[in-house]
Each structure stands twice: as structure tokens, then as C-alpha cells.
Chains A and B, each alone.
Chain A
């Protein structure tokens, strides 16, 4: 298993892949996702909603999604191209 999955280089004109989507309208800023993310991918600046700060560290483990009390987080499965690239890149890991 690779230690991390590439956040997603732009493939054929598509925007870079973001591993975690946060619905800011539903997020109440409780900090649960920030505290329990094993890779410190998420942050919440004072007075703001949760944000993805380090997409490159995300392993898409899904913990933030199942622990979000506001049902505001979705972890996006890796695109086939991005996953192959990440696995290729993980050969030296």
C-alpha cells in the first residue's frame, strides 16, 4: 500500500483532483475532522469552516467523512489515472 496518494496532477485539462470535499454551508466548525485526521490534511482557521490544507498527504482513509457530525465531508475516490500514477510513484516508498 502506498503511504500517500497524490492529490492529483491535472490530467488532460481536468482540474487537479481534490481528495476531500467539504460542504461549507453544512460545516459548523466543530474541529472533529481536524483532530482525528491521521495525516493532518485538514485545518480550521479561527472563525472559519474546515479546509483542506494538505491534499497531498491524504490517504483517502475516509475517517473525516464518517466522523463528520454535519455530514458535510465527502472523500472522493481516486481517479484511475491518478491512482495508477500514485501507485507508480509509491514504488520507492
Chain B
């Protein structure tokens, strides 16, 4: 890193609130290393979050930050990006915040392709409220609200966001921290809506209910189940059962929303000028 990590932290707020072994600090470290690698001016970055464990992150960060209402980080971020199109707007959100409460904001931000980088800390559970299942909880796993095993299928959030129109979609894990940091850097540099799903561990409410007693067990699980996209392309569907792809999952070039908006303002002003003439 060009700058020490403390350069980007409100050190007076540390240590953070997350449990021992929680992967959120690892994902946050990857976000900070990504920002550092891009050499961004701290005043030109705005980090926005909703509610939940992951959404506590901006409180520790020395950028422009906003801690908003549940699921609405992208709505606030859209407003910021509209009035400050030069600002790098980064949303840090959890799987419940992004996929359940904020699911609608997520797909519409992707559809508009507004230039916001979203990092979803996916720990498969609502940690802050003691372990209820989320739309990202794997089928068959246990949660405080699924004591006999979860009967629903989770979203493939990356596929969903890409289908909705995002310019860049990727997935990493807390274990693959260097890869995650590179993916987040590319997401922040993307012109358009970008989304990185960061698979992270909640040892307190997910791991201990699902035969992974410690954070170390959960990180080993990430290591064994995350398959780089290039390797996954050579594997059969049977070999991929229970595993997930990591790396860049989709990139495309589409017009960015705030620039389209600026262009339509020009059209409208021209029209009014002609009408008034």
C-alpha cells in the first residue's frame, strides 16, 4: 500500500464493533487497499451504507460518509451521484440490506447503470439481529428462523444484478483478499453501475449453527468452495455442485446514467431557448 491503512480510518473509532473473526474487517481492508491502489483523493470519495453489520463500515472510514436507512443506501447514493457526478460513490451493504430490504433499489440502480460501486458483504445471515435467514442463505443451512434447515433457494445476486443491466459484476471472498481488492478496484474504476459480492464469514450466527465452529473453519470453506472463473469454465456442472465462481462474472459497456441526464438537460435547454426565441 502506498499509504498506511490508518490513513483511511477514523482511528479514534477503532477497534471496530464486529465480532472476533468476522470477515467484514477483511472485506473492509480489501476496499481500502482498492481505493489506495487507485490513488483517490479522500475528499472525492463518498461511502454510503444502509443498516446491518456491514453497514457499520463507513463509521470507521475517513471519507465523506453516510449511514442511511435500511436498504436505502443506493437511493441516497443515487442522489449524491446526481448532484456530484465527479464523486466516486461507493456503497457498502450487507446481503439482507442489498437483496431483501433494498432489493428494488439494487435492480433499478443496475438498470439505470448509474456510476456507483456497490460492495455487498454477503455473510448469508442477518448477523446484527441474531441470525435470521436472508435471501442469500443457502438451502438446507440453519438459521435462528430455520431451525430445521432452510427450505428456500438463495438469489444468485451477481446474475440478478448483471441481468438488470450493471456494467461490471464480480464475486470474491474474504479468504481471497488480494483478488477481492483487485475486483473492487476495477468496480470503482468502472464507468457505470458495478457490483462486487464479497463472501464473508459470520462465525457468531452462521458458522456455529452450520458445523463451522471458528472463523478459520469458515475461511477454509471459502478457500475450498470458491472456484476461479477460468477453472470453473473447465469443470462439469457436477463438479461445480456446492461451489461458486469467483472473479469477474460480467462486464459490458453501456451509457452511464448521470451523463445521459446531463445530455437530456442540454436537449431540454436548447428546446426551451428555441421556443422562447
> Smallest CB-CB separation from B9: which chain A residue?
A71
Residues on B with C-beta less than 8 A from A29 are: 20
Query: Which of B4, B30, B216 is A32 in contact with, Cβ under 8 Å?
Result: B216
CB 8 Å contact bits of A33-61 with B (1 = contact, 0 = none) = 00110000000000000000000000000
Place the interface of chain A in its size category: 10 to 19
Residues on A with C-beta less than 8 A from B136 are: none
Known: A32-B216, A35-B216. A67 touches B177 (CB 8 A): yes
> Closest CB-CB distance, B270 to chain A, in whole Å?
51
Assess whether A67 is in contact with B26, with CB atoms less than 8 Å apart: yes
Residues on A with C-beta less than 8 A from B67 are: none
Verify if A30 is at the interface (C-beta below 8 Å from B). Answer: yes
Known: A25-B15, A66-B29, A66-B177. A31 touches B21 (CB 8 A): yes
CA distance A7 to B26 in the complex (A): 26
Interface centre among B20, B22, B174 (most CB of A within 10 A): B20
Query: Which of B15, B33, B177, B214 is A70 in contact with, Cβ under 8 Å?
Result: B15
Verify if B5 is at the interface (C-beta below 8 Å from A). Answer: yes
CB-defined A-B contacts under 8 Å, sample of 23: A26-B15, A28-B15, A30-B20, A30-B21, A30-B203, A32-B215, A35-B216, A36-B219, A66-B33, A66-B177, A66-B178, A67-B26, A67-B174, A67-B219, A68-B26, A69-B21, A69-B23, A69-B24, A69-B174, A70-B15, A70-B16, A70-B25, A74-B5
